[in-house]
Structure 1
Amino acid sequence: MKISVLLSRARKNWPAKVLSIAAAVVLVLFHNYSRLESRDLSVPLRLELPSGYVPAAPFADRVRLTLRGEADEIFRISEQDLDVFADLSGQTSEGAFRVPVQVQKLGTAIGIDPLEIGIDPMHVMVRLGQQITREVDIVPNLSGYPPPGYQLGSYAISPAQVAVTGPRERVAGIESIQTEEINVAGRTESFVMQVRLSRPSPLVSIPGGEIVEFRASIEESVVLTTFDQVEVVILNLAPALQIESEPETGFIRLQGGGQELEGLSPSDMQLIVDASDIDSPGTYELSTRPVLPAGFLVLRYEPMFVELSVTE
């Protein structure tokens, strides 16, 4: 009797009772959900590529993940605990492909529950190109000038060539690759330095490494200068003889280091005439020779001969 009464009461207004139970369940779930917190995380996107193919155009290489779970748990998750990837390994030709972004939990993230992961964007567009490799010359990117009196002499890069690899349409047009800027301004001595290569495109890589060695020789600059008003000096003339008129001044054209030439003047040099062979009055044509400080190359001088009228 009691059981039948209970069953009768249970059946009475049963739709309302079911709704009440459902509402209670929803309230419990909502309460549990409301306790969860969110955290945004930006992570790199890894591409699983088919053999012999690489990205041929820039693509969205980072993905925003929204983690939802217990606050203490989701803030333990680092970028290394989530492997975000797009699988293109099944593609067998060049072209543009739209593929889903996937997430695999690693490390700390594996044991966290509840954990919801939202992905933005959910798909990524990647254009694939055939991968090729070629050897290209390395060209130094020089800037600036040594100070006055110095010049850049010989220079060399080691290695002189480097292999570059990437999508066919990018690599095929590369004839050479530049270094980053090498500034020689203010340098007065030879030097050796390590310098990085400038990749012509983010899609092109340098498998052998991006650092090369640059060697340069800094030399004193060679300057050509002409000195006018150089005195012509007569030496070794016999005491009983004399010159009717002194010869006119001449000029000397020199080659030498810029700094040394800057400190030189016509008074530091002479055109010498040796008159030791003259023993009587008359007219003589004698050769001249330049006399000046050491370290300079005489390119030309005038007069090379002078005519002297000698009297007693």
Structure 2
Amino acid sequence: MKVKQLLDKILENWQVKAVCFVISLFLYVIYQNQSVDKKVFSVPLTVESKNGYVSVEPHPKTIAVSARGKAEDLAQVRESDLRAYLDLSYVSQDGSYDFPVLVTLSDSASVLNPLEIKVTPEKVKLRVEEEITSYVDIVPLVMGKPANGYLYKSSTVKPAQIAISGPRSMIKNCKSLQTMPVSMSDASKDFSAKTKVEKKGMFIHHDDIDVNVDVQLEEITTQKQFEKVPVKILNLPDELEIRAMTSEITVTLAGTYNSLENFVPDETFVTADVSQVTEPGTYYIDLSYNIPKNFSMSEGFTKSIPVTFTLKPLTNPDEEKITIVESDSGQLEEKVEKRRKR
């Protein structure tokens, strides 16, 4: 009886009660929607692998993560509370796969009321390969122009090799790595420089070590022609003079560029010793060269020159010689003799 009375009570004016229920439900939904907010984060996307496989193509740097929840909860969430990644751990062979984008929350964000999380894109397609390690040569990269008169000769680097790791196909095709550029601009002697090893793309990795590059230079060796070099006559006899000779010659020297540029022959650079000449005439006189030790003369240099000698003219043709003599009568007299003086 009581149950029947309860049912009658419930059904009494049921139309009005139904309308009230619908209105209440509608008001509740409006309230819930007004109290829920949405926030979009740009989160860095990383790739993780624990099975020795790595990606061989670029992936999106960031993804969009939208979070829905109470406004007061969302206000406490920061981008740093979200971590987005692709997990390659289940891959067992090379190939292309669709990897779901996984998102985790920090401890501080995970204790909030449940948040509705949605990522865009939800999946990322990647081609993966087995990761291997190998040793490759380090090649020094030397750039610039040394000081005037010098040339680049060679360079060495220590250590000579480095371990690299990455996708198998890329590692097998990588035979060497260069150093970062080392400048030899205006250098005039051997030198050493500390630098790094280049980064070979985003998929090949190596330790960030310092390497030492030793650079060797050499001076430029060349030839230079010196024209109108004077010939200095040595030991000319007093009674002779030179009527005709080759007074200037051309000399070609070989040596380093800077030394030749700064060298100026002096008056004793080329000499001719005529001390053996005693009579007038034309003679071939050997030449002597005072060559600095760091130079050498090219073949075909002048070894001797013709020189014509004559007697010096008399400066006082008639010379008187006065002597005192005693005459037959016993008196002293002057005796004058005239003779030619050369």
Match of 2:333 in 1: none
Instruction: Please state if 1:26 is matched with 2:24.
Output: no
Match of 2:83 in 1: 83
Aligned partners of 1:254 and 1:296 also within 8 Å: no
User: Which moved further from structure 2: 189-198 or 125-134?
Assistant: 189-198
Is contact 1:138–1:179 with CA below 8 Å preserved after alignment?
A: yes
CA contact (8 A) 2:47 2:88 kept: no
Is structure 2 residue 246 aligned with structure 1 residue 243? no
Q: Give the partner amino acid of 1:125.
A: K
CA, structure 1 residues 269+146, in 2 after alignment: closer, same or farther (shift >3 Å)? farther
Structure 2: distance between partners of 1:213 and 1:76: 50
Q: What runs of 5+ residues in structure 2 fail to find an aligned partner?
A: 312-342
Q: Distance in 2 between matches of 1:254 and 1:260?
A: 11
Gaps of 5+ in 1: none
1:185-223 Cα deviation digits (max 9, x unpaired): 3344544333232233221112x3354222324555444
Distance in 2 (CA, whole Å) between partners of 1:147 and 1:255 is: 20
CA contact (8 A) 2:54 2:88 kept: no
What secondary structure is seen at the aligned counterpart in 2 of 1:17?
helix
SS in 2 for 1:203: coil
Change in 2 beyond 3 A, CA 1:23/1:204: same
Residues 241 and 209 (structure 1 numbering): CA distance in 2 closer, same or farther, change over 3 Å?
Answer: same
Kindly indicate whether residue 51 of structure 2 is the aligned counterpart of residue 50 of structure 1.
Answer: yes
Q: Structure 1 stretch 262-271 or stretch 42-51: which is displaced more?
A: 262-271
Alpha-carbon distance change, 75 to 259 in structure 1, aligned in 2, over 3 angstroms: farther
In the other structure, the counterpart of 1:300 is 298
Aligned-partner residue type, residue 38 of structure 1 = K
Structure 1 residues 224 and 27: alpha-carbon distance in aligned structure 2, compared to 1, 3 A threshold: same
CA contact (8 A) 1:46 1:86 kept: yes
1:5 positional shift: 7.1
Structure 1 residues 295 and 9: alpha-carbon distance in aligned structure 2, compared to 1, 3 A threshold = farther
- Distance, in Å, in 1 between the alignment partners of 2:232 and 2:216 is 41
Q: CA deviation at 1:45?
A: 1.7
Q: Give yes or no for contact 1:43–1:65 (8 Å, CA) kept in 2.
A: no
Alignment of 1:248-259 (within 5 A): 248-259=247-258
1:163 is matched with which residue? 163
**1:172 and 2:163 correspond:** no
Partners of 2:293 and 2:64 lie apart in 1 by 71
**Paired position in structure 1 for 2:326:** none
Structure-2 residue corresponding to 1:93: 93
Bigger radius of gyration among the two: 2
Secondary structure of the structure 2 residue equivalent to 1:254: strand
1:280-311: CA deviation from partner (whole Å, max 9, x where unpaired): 4455444323236x574123262023343444
How many angstroms does 1:127 deviate by?
A: 0.8
RMSD: 3.1
Distance 1:153 1:24 in 2: 87
Tell me the SS of whatever aligns to 2:173: coil
- Preserved contact between residue 167 and residue 203 of structure 2 (Cα < 8 Å): yes
